[in-house]
Amino acid sequence: MPVPPNFQEEVKRACLASQCGDLRLLAFEAQSFEWRLEGLRLIGEAQFSLKAYPGARATYEALRKDVPDDLDANLKVGTIYQKLATDNPQEIDIDLLARSDQAIERTLSVARTSPQRAGRSTPFWVVTLKRFGSGTGGRRSWRKENERLSSHPT
């Protein structure tokens, strides 16, 4: 069921004004409607784009509560936990890194067992995660490779 236009506009206004608190409130409100899944996706994307990771974490976790194998939600949650875990390089949160790895593993598992849910072709991120691994070391290897490729003009 589509998100009502006036709610979409409210999310867009909150995002443009970087009103992270308003987005959290909208996420709470969206959960009481029949279009909650689409509403949570919309709000989660806005929070993620603002790098409002604590709010995005709560929003995507609410979405995963209803749809545990949602590919996009699991991928976003994996990224969010990784960002939160490494926010302070002097004090890396191992629990959040483990949660990140679990979300990525769930994403890969769903993509492997249900390729039709991953789309018509294997998404780039699935190929990348399979190549480099889904754990923290794999993400580091991927980032190094990505930086190396980015530094060389084509």
Q: pLDDT per position in the chain (154 positions), as tens?
A: 899 999 999 999 999 999 999 999 999 999 999 999 999 999 999 999 999 999 999 999 999 999 998 888 988 998 899 889 888 777 778 888 888 888 888 888 877 776 555 554 445 555 555 555 555 555 555 555 555 555 555 4
CA distances 1 to 36, 69, 71, 124, Å, are 9, 19, 19, 28
- Both tokens assigned to 138: 């794999």
Q: Which residue type occupies 71?
A: L
Q: Please tell me the distance from the alpha carbon of residue 80 to that of residue 82, in angstroms, as a whole number.
A: 5
Model confidence over 136-151: pLDDT tens digits? 555 555 555 555 555 5
Model confidence over 72-101: pLDDT tens digits? 898 899 889 988 988 877 777 888 888 888
